Amino acid sequence: MSESVLSLQNLHKHFGALQATNDVSMDLRQGEIHALIGPNGAGKSTLIGQIAGNIRPDKGSVYLAGQEITGMSIAQRARLGLGRSFQVSSLAEPLSVMRNVMMGIQALQSHSFRFWKPVAHDQHLLEPAYQALERMQLSHRAWTPVCELSHGERRQVEVACALALKPSALLLDEPMAGLGPEGSAKLTELLEALKREVPILLIEHDMEAVFRLADRISVLVSGSVIAHGDSHAIKQDPRVREVYLGDSDA
């Protein structure tokens, strides 16, 4: 079995009387895509928040590459190699693709003098940004303003922003949201190739993409993992068919 890069151990989180995360344990291994699926309100965002650092668990632990990160800030986790993309785009529309990616790297660097240096001339930012754009097949759009990109290309930029920080694990929160079949197929192809370099925890409602991409799938319902396995096992699981996929076409 490959090495675990990210490990969640017995995470609990409640909001008042609601148990949004109920004793969740799972891991992300080198070279894989592990998809987390579940119906609306299942607790996926709450779980992602506990991994990323914007939600503090009531109980339980999160480890990245063997190091406990449960009490760390979002920035500390990012510096240690936790990359993420967001459900809602945070790109600066009038700025070029390259500037957006470079600013993402710059935001994590602690040397304040860098803020006085023109971002476009900083090799420390330019090289990793360019590499990340190449990885997402977007280097030809490097100097195009984000506002001129298609929706699918914006999603590729968002993943490039996370990749430019050279993460050891990547959290992708609904990367296919709002994409048409073409954009979704393109991103699926890119992510399939990317997992060999960085393992991906994928939160996604597009089941076609999930079944194509995921090596393992965990199904979250009412804050608990009710099933875990590969695509075939998840499609066959009677609990999943009943509560999530619908009994007729799972």
Ligand X SMILES: Nc1ncnc2c1ncn2[C@@H]1O[C@H](COP(=O)(O)OP(=O)(O)OP(=O)(O)O)[C@@H](O)[C@H]1O
- Side-chain-side CA neighbours of 178 within 13 Å: the count stands at 11
Three-state SS for 22-90 is EEEEEEEECCCEEEEECCCCCCHHHHHHHHHCCCCCCEEEEEECCEECCCCCHHHHHHCCEEEECCCCC
- Compute the least distance from the CB of residue 35 to ligand X, in Å: 13
- Compute the least distance from the CB of residue 88 to ligand X, in Å: 11
For residue 78, what are its two tokens?
A: 């990012």
The binding site for ligand X (CB under 6 A) comprises 15, 18, 20, 38, 40-46
Instruction: For 203, list phi and psi in degrees, rounded to 5.
Output: -100, 120
Looking at the Cβ atoms of 7 and 224, the one nearer to ligand X is 224
229 sits in the region (left: phi over 0; alpha: psi -120 to 50; else beta) called left
Looking at the Cβ atoms of 124 and 228, the one nearer to ligand X is 228
As a whole number of angstroms, the distance between CA 171 and CA 48 comes to 8
- Compute the least distance from the CB of residue 217 to ligand X, in Å: 15
Among the listed residues 17, 12, 47, 36, the one whose alpha carbon sits nearest the alpha carbon of residue 244? 36
Whether 179 contacts 97, CB under 8 Å: no
- Compute the least distance from the CB of residue 33 to ligand X, in Å: 19
- Compute the least distance from the CB of residue 216 to ligand X, in Å: 18
- Compute the least distance from the CB of residue 56 to ligand X, in Å: 12
Q: At what angle do helices 151-163 and 181-194 cross, to 10 degrees?
A: 20
3 state DSSP class of 250: coil
Looking at the Cβ atoms of 24 and 138, the one nearer to ligand X is 24
Looking at the Cβ atoms of 45 and 137, the one nearer to ligand X is 45
- How far is the CA of 105 from the CAs of 12, 181, 244, in angstroms? 32, 31, 38
Looking at the Cβ atoms of 165 and 234, the one nearer to ligand X is 234
- Compute the least distance from the CB of residue 241 to ligand X, in Å: 19
Looking at the Cβ atoms of 40 and 123, the one nearer to ligand X is 40
Looking at the Cβ atoms of 2 and 87, the one nearer to ligand X is 87
